[in-house]
Structure 1
Amino acid sequence: MSSSTPVSILSRGISVYSIPPELLSNLTVRSIQAQQSNEPSDETAEKAVVQTVQATLPSGAGLSCQTCPNTNFDTVEEQRTHFKSDWHRYNAKAKLTGRTVSAEEWDGMVEGISSISGSGSESSGSSSSGSSSQSKVARLLKRQTIGNGLNPEDDDDEEALELADRQRRAHLRTAVIWFSPTTSLDSLGIPKDTQLGVHRALFPPFDTAADYLTELKRMQLTGNENQDGERRLTLLMVAGGHFAGMVVSIRPRAKNERQEVKGAGDIRILKHKTFHRYTTRKKQGGSQALNDNAKSKAVSAGAMLRRYGEQALQEEIRALMIDWEEDLAASERIFIRASTHGKKSFWGYDGAVLHKTDDRIRVFPFPTRRPTLQELLRCWNELTRLKVSRLSEEALQALDDAYIASLQPKNKPIKAAPVSTPAPVVPAVPKLSPEEEARVDRRKRLEEMIRKGRLDALKPFWTKYQSDYQPSEILGFVAAAGQEDILRYLLEEERSDPTQPIETANGRRAYELSSTKIIRNVFRRVAYNHPDWYDWVNQARVPSGLSDELEAEQNSKKADRRKGLKEKLKEREKTRLAEAENEEKAQLEAEAQRKKEDEMRKVALSLNGGGTGNTGPQKLGGKVGGEGLGGMSQEMRMQIERERRARAAEARFGRG
């Protein structure tokens, strides 16, 4: 099935470190701050590159301030002191208006104004000094507006400054930095109304939106100073007694390079490790340490095991950090997911490899699941793949205005608007056109038919509207829904291409979204029957074809295994019954032997004269109570023999 429009390059998923040059050269930053300021000149961009490179140098080598012009520091302490100065605070706010001042200009501006740094009154507290300093900076900012033709006492100017501050805060709070192409790129299949997003966590902290584009160009694998080195990222997770860690090279894996991790694709994993300890009570949540702090210390065996597990897990993580010290030192970013208690495994102890103040440490900017190696792979794909959005300029502007309005302080009194001036109306998000609403409704109907397996209703619908959908995406939805008949219809009759990556599934293929073995076998049967249609193994990622003979052989082997298992169960049951019967028989024999010994003991007592009810002399060695000497023990027979001899001796003495 052919498409009228070229396939977009974005459909296969693009790494933020390998953006095509044609696309990269046509990108501009699409942020709230960038919309309110002019584009930076080439000189400013070049200066931003120099500052970015200086920021990556070791302490004491090329330290500077990105806000204040012509600043250089010999030590980190001098740089931190500068950040607390009024000059830096003034430039940080004045930068919103597009003009910062040098040190000489600042000295001229503050001449005649005393106590700029809060040194006017020695009796004043630190809070009053800080507020006084801030008021001086605000007065200087208002004085600067006079030169721009603005009235410093005008409320509108104050609101403009406040709006600019809210715009800056909105820019700093967004988790994703968005870029837009300046023109449509038909050769790449990218329209102009396309937004490409990169997670802010991959960038250094910048105050200016234009710096992100410069940094994005520097991050590319080719055409920068890091192309010959091994650049890497580290991902660490610990939660619920589970730990997962992975060191990944930014450079993708070569086709002939061996990869031991299943499902890693083209990701080059340098090191990985997972382990688990029993630290959390099932279905209770929370670690044992938190429970001990909240309540009294439990003394149960389970609590002791959980405490031991927490200590062992912490020691294993710390030992692994020491083993990975070189990889951590070479990592550009270190992403960590851990609770407050779990972070003690990474820093805050003697000999720690990581430090809390390390500016490379980031948190995952999206929800994560239980720490496993597969979850780390998913997070890697989420972090390093371009996000794609398609919104019109009107919709984007409406979203920006609504977000900036939400940042207004709630406790600030709202000024009454003049009667003659109508209240400003916040533009609403534009509604969908009738065509777009119809397309959304058709998509819902299609998904409903797939979920219910209504193939007869699907066929005419698909014939009429198939051009509105990506075949690979629909194939993935059918495979995940487990509809065997619909999948066979799309693959064999409609020839839907299973080799195309699914953008909404991080580039995975439809086969990889199969929910059951029956669905996977459908792909394998079609691959066997039509091997020349696609590259089933490498592109569609179907491991092998499945013929009728092979399937029958597999079913036969499965039946034999079931039969063998049943026979083994029967043999085990017979053996168990035989053992139980033998055990019962042995118990009966032991009971009979005990009774026999008791009877012999009674006979021996009667021979000693201790018994009652003996009516006459009894013959020694004869049968007593129906039993003879043959059933007695050796000791009892010796005792009876002694008694017999004693009686015989008494009889002889009596006759004499």
Structure 2
Amino acid sequence: MSTSTSILSRGVSVYSIPPELLANLSVRSIQAQPPAEAEEIKPKSTAPKTVLANLPGAAGLSCQTCPNANFDTVEEQRAHFKSDWHRYNAKAKLTGRTVSAEEWEGMVEGISSISGSDSGSSSSSGSSSQSKVARLLKRQTLDNNQNLSDDEEALELADRQRRAHLRTAVIWFSPTTSIPSLGIPKDTQFGVHRALFPPFDTAADYLTELKRMQLSGNDEEDGERRLTLLMVAGGHFAGMVVSIKPRGRSEKQEVKGAGEVRVLKHKTFHRYTTRKKQGGSQALNDNAKSKAVSAGAMLRRYGEQALQEEIRALMVEWEDDLAASERIFIRASTHGKKSFYGYEGAVLSKNDERFRTFPFPTRRPTLQELLRCWHELTRMKVSHLSEEALRALDEEYIASLQSKNKPIKPTPAPTPAPTAPAIPKLSPEEEAKLDRRKRLEEMIRKGRLDALKPFWTKYQTDFEPSEILGLVASSGQEEILKYLLEEERLDPTQPILTSNNRKPYELSANKNIRNVFRRVAHNHPEWYDWVSDARVPSGLSEELEQEQNTKKNERRKGLKEKLKEREKQRAAEAEIEEAREKEVELQEQKEEAMRAVAMSLNGNTGANNTGPQKLGGRVGGEGLGGMSQEMRMQIERERRARAAEARFGRG
């Protein structure tokens, strides 16, 4: 594998750009490439530049508001301050468009007695003068807004050009010339996330900062870069502090890239704060509605409080690492950010300039997700676009800014829409290609590998390999995916343009599909840079897969045993509960039998008979032998109850 291939395939770290590439980089932005006529565009202001005669003390008395207004006496200066010309300039100075005396005369030409000095009282003339000056200012403002000059429009366009690429999430750099030694053509663009830079206004500052960000090759110098990534969402928290240091000067530094990367600190934990499939935290629900009193709501409130306390304690524990971090990336809701700052004794400040949000979508907070975000942030993006394509993108972006910032003008009533043009008819070749596309998609969805093999061999040039891999991965067809990866050698590192530049692995429908990618990555690690380019986290060997299956079977076996033990426990509890119910029933029957015996004895001997009576004795010719069958059954149940009590006592 050549040096150039290794650089572009393995990726270039933002902190370790090859010196030869760094020396030839320039910021590929509209502001860095001004048009040739930009220097000729100058504002045509009706107000002339301030000359030396207007400066204080240049020649006698003067007015700092009105251009070329010089006076010989103080009385002339005071009279000038009361004039309409000075009143107009005093208000127009706020917009930077003051006028000279000659221009003022031209503006008021044809307006008789604007100050009202020829007639009327001083108060009425003053109010009339002020109102007319105000009307003149208002009319001039409306005229300026409605009739912008060509030069002003050109300046406005130039200003949009200056800010165009500085407002994007990625700052793009391009080499001034091709670099044959690294295999980099001139039409290559390298992108760096703007979140890694301080907020600059000019493109040159980004290039200077990029050079300053490079790690030193000398171990004696302190060239460490440290970043902190924090995420909290849905009760899940994940935090990580990453340090990157130079390995030292070596010939292989240009190829290996980033140097020594170490995860200094990492922590993940979870609390129950969100009701399943409901969305939103309990605190938001309490603020929107009345405070719920259910057991689940109380558990979620406790979970939110516990999660917040654990995060704050972790911030105190990581205080030194946070202080040494040059950037702190945070993903949290408005309520979740209260765990990081805005409370008494907080380690972080709300106005910390190091705070950044992740400039791309993120998934559930986990350590694996933090590692993916770290890789995404610190790797330079690479694209290959021609000058014509770049110019078209620039024009489209500027047009979008112009449409957003331009004031809305009233539009005339819409005219009846013309008849929709007929859809252009496809050529026979295009129809055949579209039909082949549908047939291939149907084979993939139905998993017809035998029919797909000859079809793919014959028509594979009609399809984009990355899109087909993504379709197979999202359809969950393992055999077809294995065939395309191993036998047809389709490249899994190419992004899928129709899926936001995601890689085929990221479109996997299930774990089995992901395991296919991992098996091929393990069997053929030399084919691609599976981790960086294909975004396959790791290879999967047969031993590792067997070990995972063994653990899964053991977990299932353990789960079955736990279920059996739980069933036995439930059966024992049910038996005990049944015995208790029988005991209660027997006790009730016993009491009922005793009451019946007492009533029987009292009925035979008379109500006045007192003293102890023997159970079974003969009183008045009647005893136990003279009891009815129902009474004997009750006595028998009592004996059985005593026997059951004895058994439970022995058990």
TM over 0.5: yes
Q: Distance in 2 between matches of 1:179 and 1:199?
A: 11
Match of 1:654 in 2: none
Q: Distance in 2 between matches of 1:382 and 1:605?
A: 92
Match of 2:232 in 1: 238
Q: What are the ranges of 5 or more consecutive residues in structure 2 without an aligned counterpart?
A: 44-48, 57-62, 67-79, 82-87, 101-146, 249-258, 412-428, 608-617, 640-651
Q: How has the CA–CA distance of structure 1 residues 413 and 526 changed in structure 2, closer, same or farther, with 3 Å as cutoff? A: closer
- State the secondary structure of the residue aligned to 1:370: coil
- Once the two structures are superposed, the pairs formed by residues 115-264 of structure 1 within 5 Å of their partners are 135-136=95-96, 155-222=149-216, 228-251=222-245
- State the secondary structure of the residue aligned to 1:243: strand
Farther-moved stretch of structure 1 (285-294 vs 573-582): 573-582
8 Å Cα contact 1:621-1:628 kept in structure 2: no
Q: How has the CA–CA distance of structure 1 residues 183 and 288 changed in structure 2, closer, same or farther, with 3 Å as cutoff? A: same
Amino acid at match of 1:233: L
Q: How has the CA–CA distance of structure 1 residues 278 and 289 changed in structure 2, closer, same or farther, with 3 Å as cutoff? A: same
Q: Please state how far the C-alpha of 1:440 moved relative to its aligned partner.
A: 11
Match of 2:318 in 1: 324
Aligned length: 518
Post-superposition CA distance 1:428-456 (Å, at most 9, x none):
xxxxxxx9999999999877754553434
Q: How has the CA–CA distance of structure 1 residues 206 and 226 changed in structure 2, closer, same or farther, with 3 Å as cutoff? A: farther
Matching of residue 368 in structure 1 with residue 362 in structure 2: yes
Correspondence for 2:27 among 29, 34, 42: 29
Amino acid at match of 2:356: R
Q: Distance in 1 between matches of 2:229 and 2:435?
A: 41
- Once the two structures are superposed, the pairs formed by residues 110-509 of structure 1 within 5 Å of their partners are 111=55, 114=64, 135-136=95-96, 155-222=149-216, 228-251=222-245, 268-408=262-402, 409-411=405-407, 450-460=444-454, 462-463=456-457, 478=472, 481-490=475-484, 493-494=487-488, 496=489
Post-superposition CA distance 1:36-60 (Å, at most 9, x none):
179xxxxxxxxxxxxxxxxxxxxxx
Q: Please state how far the C-alpha of 1:291 moved relative to its aligned partner.
A: 3.6
TM-score, length basis structure 1: 0.62
Percent identity over paired residues: 68
Q: Please state how far the C-alpha of 1:372 moved relative to its aligned partner.
A: 2.5
Q: Distance in 2 between matches of 1:266 and 1:571?
A: 51
Q: Distance in 1 between matches of 2:99 and 2:304?
A: 56
Q: How has the CA–CA distance of structure 1 residues 394 and 302 changed in structure 2, closer, same or farther, with 3 Å as cutoff? A: same
- State the secondary structure of the residue aligned to 1:308: helix
Q: Distance in 2 between matches of 1:160 and 1:629?
A: 111
8 Å Cα contact 1:315-1:345 kept in structure 2: yes
8 Å Cα contact 1:12-1:501 kept in structure 2: no
Post-superposition CA distance 1:7-35 (Å, at most 9, x none):
47323232211222232222211112112
Q: Please state how far the C-alpha of 1:587 moved relative to its aligned partner.
A: 4.8
User: What is the Cα-based RMSD across aligned positions, in Å?
Assistant: 5.7
8 Å Cα contact 2:235-2:271 kept in structure 1: yes
Q: Please state how far the C-alpha of 1:234 moved relative to its aligned partner.
A: 1.0
Q: Please state how far the C-alpha of 1:211 moved relative to its aligned partner.
A: 1.6
Match of 2:621 in 1: 618
Correspondence for 1:542 among 530, 539, 544: 539
Amino acid at match of 1:625: S
8 Å Cα contact 1:322-1:353 kept in structure 2: yes
Amino acid at match of 1:114: Q
Q: How has the CA–CA distance of structure 1 residues 136 and 632 changed in structure 2, closer, same or farther, with 3 Å as cutoff? A: closer
Q: How has the CA–CA distance of structure 1 residues 8 and 579 changed in structure 2, closer, same or farther, with 3 Å as cutoff? A: closer
Q: Distance in 2 between matches of 1:275 and 1:109?
A: 73
Q: How has the CA–CA distance of structure 1 residues 136 and 315 changed in structure 2, closer, same or farther, with 3 Å as cutoff? A: same
8 Å Cα contact 2:170-2:194 kept in structure 1: yes
Q: Distance in 1 between matches of 2:531 and 2:149?
A: 66
8 Å Cα contact 2:237-2:268 kept in structure 1: yes
Q: Please state how far the C-alpha of 1:191 moved relative to its aligned partner.
A: 3.1
Match of 1:15 in 2: 13
Amino acid at match of 2:239: G
- State the secondary structure of the residue aligned to 2:17: coil
- State the secondary structure of the residue aligned to 1:177: strand
Q: What are the ranges of 5 or more consecutive residues in structure 1 without an aligned counterpart?
A: 39-93, 100-104, 122-127, 141-152, 255-264, 416-434, 635-656
Q: Please state how far the C-alpha of 1:166 moved relative to its aligned partner.
A: 1.8
8 Å Cα contact 1:13-1:506 kept in structure 2: no
Q: Distance in 2 between matches of 1:493 and 1:544?
A: 19
Q: Distance in 2 between matches of 1:575 and 1:27?
A: 73
Q: How has the CA–CA distance of structure 1 residues 487 and 572 changed in structure 2, closer, same or farther, with 3 Å as cutoff? A: same
Amino acid at match of 1:135: T
8 Å Cα contact 1:621-1:629 kept in structure 2: no
Q: Distance in 1 between matches of 2:14 and 2:435?
A: 34
Q: How has the CA–CA distance of structure 1 residues 209 and 583 changed in structure 2, closer, same or farther, with 3 Å as cutoff? A: closer
Farther-moved stretch of structure 1 (339-348 vs 531-540): 531-540
Q: Please state how far the C-alpha of 1:168 moved relative to its aligned partner.
A: 2.5
Q: Please state how far the C-alpha of 1:324 moved relative to its aligned partner.
A: 1.3
Match of 2:132 in 1: none
Post-superposition CA distance 1:42-96 (Å, at most 9, x none):
xxxxxxxxxxxxxxxxxxxxxxxxxxxxxxxxxxxxxxxxxxxxxxxxxxxx999
Q: Please state how far the C-alpha of 1:394 moved relative to its aligned partner.
A: 1.7
Q: How has the CA–CA distance of structure 1 residues 154 and 536 changed in structure 2, closer, same or farther, with 3 Å as cutoff? A: closer
8 Å Cα contact 1:9-1:190 kept in structure 2: no
Post-superposition CA distance 1:478-500 (Å, at most 9, x none):
55643332244345544x389x8
